[in-house]
Structure 1
Amino acid sequence: MKTLTFELDTRQGKSQRTVTIHQLIVAGWTGRDVEAMEAHIRELEELGVKRPPYTPVFYRVAAQRLGPAPEIQVSGEASSGEAEFLLVRDGDEILVGIASDHTDREAETYGITVSKQMCEKPCAPALWPLAEVEGHWDRLVLRSYATIDGERVLYQEGPVTAMRSPADLLERFSGHGGDFGEGSAMLCGTLPAIGGIRPAERFEIELEDPVLGRTLRHVYAVAALPVAG
């Protein structure tokens, strides 16, 4: 488990919220649009990743991997980030945030669960109550930027409607025997990468709420460690 202190950003103001994460889930292949989801599956198949047996899939990752790290260290040059909306349960309340499912792409070709476990899952240090955005959920926008060879480029952008809704994902998780109880956190799927999946030295993630005029953001650097063998 891992204890994190977030800034809770609500319509009434901001406060601190400390949550102990007991369970971290990474939901994969969560697309509502079957064609778009197929595009992401094919994108990964080009890297040697096997097609999933069913969708969505719920991978379990060590809770210690989640946190607002300003820098992560990875093994080699074959990892990359993905912007995903994040769900966190604290008591009777579900909170929403933004995180990166940073993944080792070489390891992903032989074991997706292994690849998820190998990298940290950086997240923004702030959360919103899900109840405040449920009424206009489909207006939220997910976005990421990658700095590659010193150049900052738009890496992902699109509405959260590309992924299944929080209620749908939690229902499906329960249907597969999961329990999204106290201290659970879930990364909820991503958008295709503009120009294809590739590594970056810096990654930025955003979840924009144009209705309430606010954005959750996080930026982290990626330090690639040498691989000796």
Structure 2
Amino acid sequence: MSSLAFTLPDGTRRTVTVTRLLNAGYAGRSQDDVAAHVAELAELGVPAPSTTPALYPVAPYLAQQTGSVPAQHGRTSGEAEWALVVDDTGDLLLTAACDHTDRELEAYGVAWSKNAGPDVLAGQAWRLDDVADRVDSLTLRAWVTGEDGTEELIQDSTAAELLTPHHWAEVLRERGELEPGTVLISGTVPMRHGVDQFAGRWRVQLADPSTGNEISLGYDVVRMPEPIG
């Protein structure tokens, strides 16, 4: 398990002791587009899921609020996402997240790759009820910083591209899992072609254009020493 803390716009703090962490996959609103994406990944050797959208259980301790992510090699990268959090009071929160994924391991199994890196969450959150009427207009963006120190936009979309938090809340309710301690990561939006995802730093922003409010996170990807033996 891990313990997370979030600051709401009014300054109040909410906590969650994570007992269940789930990563949605292939969770685009258009399942026709998802099918095309599955076919593209298959050509790269990534096994197709048995059903879409998919839902992958992840070890709860991998839900982290951190500024540094260790990586065993140079082919790991983040994914801009939102996270649905059931806090310790049972309230539903929405925040920014970045699913850091091992791309080498992904070719052997997506579920394995999801358990090889953390889901990094921001330190701010909104009550889902407070943004429920405008979820689709929320923007989801990510930037990467390469070796030359230049930050480059790699993902730029809206939450309308993804299945909604309310959709996943209902899925969790049907599974008996919409309870304190559950965190669900949304799945991601397309990356821009030509931008190197294997960068040394990731930054993710979830923003509300109607209010100007935003939630952001950032972390460095730190290569681990080579193993001995």
TM-score normalised by the chain length of structure 1: 0.91
User: How far off its partner does 1:14 sit?
Assistant: 1.2
Aligned counterpart, 1:212: 211
Cross-structure match for 1:8:
8
Deviation track 1:131-158 (CA, whole Å, cap 9, x = no partner) reads: 0100111110100001123231111011
Which whole-Å CA distance do the structure 1 matches of 2:44 and 2:115 have between them? 18
Q: Which amino acid aligns with 1:14?
A: G
> TM-score, normalised on structure 2?
0.91
Asked if structure 1 preserves the Cα contact closer than 8 Å seen for 2:154 and 2:197, the reply is no
Unaligned runs of 5+ in 1: none
SS in structure 2 of the partner of residue 138 of structure 1: helix
Instruction: Give the CA deviation at 1:3.
Output: 1.3
Change (3 A) 1:180 1:222: same
Post-superposition offset of 1:70: 0.4
Counterpart of 1:219 in 2: which secondary structure? Answer: strand
Superposition map of 1:82-161 within 5 A: 82-90=79-87, 91-150=89-148, 151-161=150-160
Closer, same or farther: CA 152–40 of 1 in aligned 2, 3 Å: farther
Matches within 5 A, 1:35-74: 35-74=32-71
Look up the match of 2:184: 186
Structure 1 residues 171, 98: CA separation in 2 closer, same or farther (over 3 Å shift)? same
| Contact kept in structure 2, 1:29 and 1:189, CA below 8 Å | yes
Shift of 1:209: 0.4
Q: Please say if residues 47 and 105 of structure 1, whose CA atoms lie closer than 8 Å, have aligned partners that are also in contact.
A: no
SS in 1 for 2:125: strand
**Structure 2 Cα separation of the partners of residues 76 and 110 of structure 1:** 16
| Contact 2:154–2:192 (8 Å) recurs in 1 | yes
SS for the counterpart of 2:131 is helix
The residue type equivalent to 1:78 in the other structure is R
8 Å Cα contact 1:76-1:226 kept in structure 2? no
Identity of aligned residues (%): 34
Cα distance between partner residues in 1 of 2:205 and 2:215: 6
Residues 178 and 224 (structure 1 numbering): CA distance in 2 closer, same or farther, change over 3 Å? farther
**Shift in Å at residue 46 of structure 1?**
4.1
Where do 5+ consecutive residues of structure 2 fail to align? none
Root-mean-square deviation (Å): 1.8
Q: Which amino acid aligns with 1:134?
A: A
C-alpha deviation, 1:69, in angstroms: 0.6
The answer to whether structure 1 residue 26 and structure 2 residue 34 are counterparts is no
Aligned to 1:76, the other structure's residue is in SS state coil
Q: Deviations over 1:61-90 (max 9, x none)?
A: 111111221011011011100010000002
In 2, are the aligned partners of 1:40 and 1:192 still within 8 Å (CA)?
no
Q: 1:227, CA displacement in angstroms?
A: 4.5
Give the drift of 1:206: 0.5
Closer, same or farther: CA 114–161 of 1 in aligned 2, 3 Å: same
